[in-house]
């Protein structure tokens, strides 16, 4: 019977030496009190400075040549190149494009790119944010006036009174509405990223809750949550009833008593319904909006609401009513 070989023993290397051999950093040594030293602070962000005047002028001259085309993609690329040049004159030109003050007709998607580019103009941030905020106020007012006259940003079918999304003309108008939503979302993102808010911001942003662009609505909801803005809870409750789940939506019905005879009530109800759902992009499940809505409600109230009716009940509390009124 052969003997079972005894296992060989190898010398144990110190843990520190093993780390060195593996190319890994050594753990921080403890000080005399047994405490580990604090981690080093990250290096400060690189300071953004304006380029020389000559470089800015050359970039603007080049941009003027590049943007003089009917090709949308070329125009967008021209703005992308220009936005990398940080200088007040470049910021002013991007602002002209965004505000539609640039000579000639600038497509909405090019204007959206200009809003995005303004975020890179760090040295002009103090002047950019107030102007864009004011422009958003004008856009919100234009929305309200359009709805008042029955314009919901889409072409209406004369037979049904609903949005025409099938004819070539109807699809063209629908695309224009969607492009505008993208532009508004870039403008709102710019103002939010610059951490700017003025007295009209809540009212202005609340108007954009009715837009069919998911990014825009999610940005607005994020702003309300960050501001802990109690006054918008009624509007958020309305939105919650439309999008109670990630994968569903509810349009409900609207009734109006005008006191008039005939079909006046029906016409008024149709107009009121269209004011809420005239945008066909609102009549669909919107997971991004639903998630952003629940997060905004939690950020504002500190509570979670499983169902819209739970939020309605919560809003009946006297202390909640006071907070809602205290805009």
pTM here is: 0.81
Please provide the DSSP assignment of 18-63 as one string: HHHHTTPPPPPPP-TTSPPPPPPPPPPPPPP-PPPHHHHHHHHHHH
CA distance 150 to 131: 29
Which pLDDT score, from 0 to 100, does residue 257 have?
Answer: 47
CB 232 within 8 A of CB 224: yes
Which pLDDT score, from 0 to 100, does residue 256 have?
Answer: 46
Cα angle at 184 between 179 and 178, to 5 degrees?
25
Neighbour count for residue 65 (Cβ, 10 Å): 9
More confident residue, 81 or 104: 81
Which pLDDT score, from 0 to 100, does residue 31 have?
Answer: 52
Over residues 38-55, the pLDDT tens digits come to 556 555 556 778 999 999
Q: At what angle do helices 108-118 and 72-83 cross, to 10 degrees?
A: 10
Over residues 4-26, the pLDDT tens digits come to 555 455 455 555 555 555 555 55
Domain boundaries, the chain: 127-149+156-325
- Is the model's pLDDT at 276 over the cut of 50? yes
pLDDT classification of 104: cutoffs 50, 70, 90: confident
């Amino acid at each position: 019977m052969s003997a079972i070989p005894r296992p060989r023993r190898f010398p144990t290397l110190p843990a520190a030496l093993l780390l060195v051999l593996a190319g890994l950093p050594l753990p921080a040594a403890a000080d005399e009190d047994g405490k580990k030293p604090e981690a080093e602070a990250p290096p400060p962000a690189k300071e953004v400075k304006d380029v020389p005047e000559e470089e800015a002028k050359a970039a603007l001259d080049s941009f003027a040549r590049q943007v003089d085309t009917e090709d949308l993609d070329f125009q967008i690329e021209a703005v992308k190149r220009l936005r990398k040049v940080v200088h007040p004159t470049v910021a002013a030109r991007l602002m002209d494009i965004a505000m539609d003050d640039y000579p000639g007709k600038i497509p909405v998607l090019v204007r959206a790119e200009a809003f995005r580019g303004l975020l890179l103009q760090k040295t002009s941030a103090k002047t950019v944010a107030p102007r864009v905020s004011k422009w958003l106020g004008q856009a919100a007012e234009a929305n309200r006036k359009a709805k008042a006259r029955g314009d919901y940003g889409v072409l209406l079918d004369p037979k049904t009174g609903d949005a025409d999304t099938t004819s070539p003309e109807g699809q063209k108008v629908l695309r224009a509405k969607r492009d505008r939503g993208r532009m508004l979302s870039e403008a709102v993102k710019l103002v939010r990223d610059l951490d700017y808010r003025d007295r009209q911001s809540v009212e202005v942003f609340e108007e954009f809750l009715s837009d069919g662009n998911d990014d825009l609505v999610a940005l607005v909801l994020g702003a309300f949550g960050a501001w802990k803005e109690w006054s918008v809870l009624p509007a958020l409750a309305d939105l919650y009833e439309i999008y109670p789940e990630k994968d569903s939506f509810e349009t409900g019905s609207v009734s109006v008593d005008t006191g008039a005879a005939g079909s006046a009530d029906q016409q008024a109800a149709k107009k009121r319904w269209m004011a809420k759902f005239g945008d066909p992009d609102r009549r669909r499940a919107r997971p991004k909006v639903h998630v952003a809505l629940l997060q905004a409600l939690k950020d504002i109230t500190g509570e979670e609401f499983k169902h819209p009716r739970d939020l309605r009940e919560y809003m009946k509390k006297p202390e909640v009513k006071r907070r809602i009124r205290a805009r």
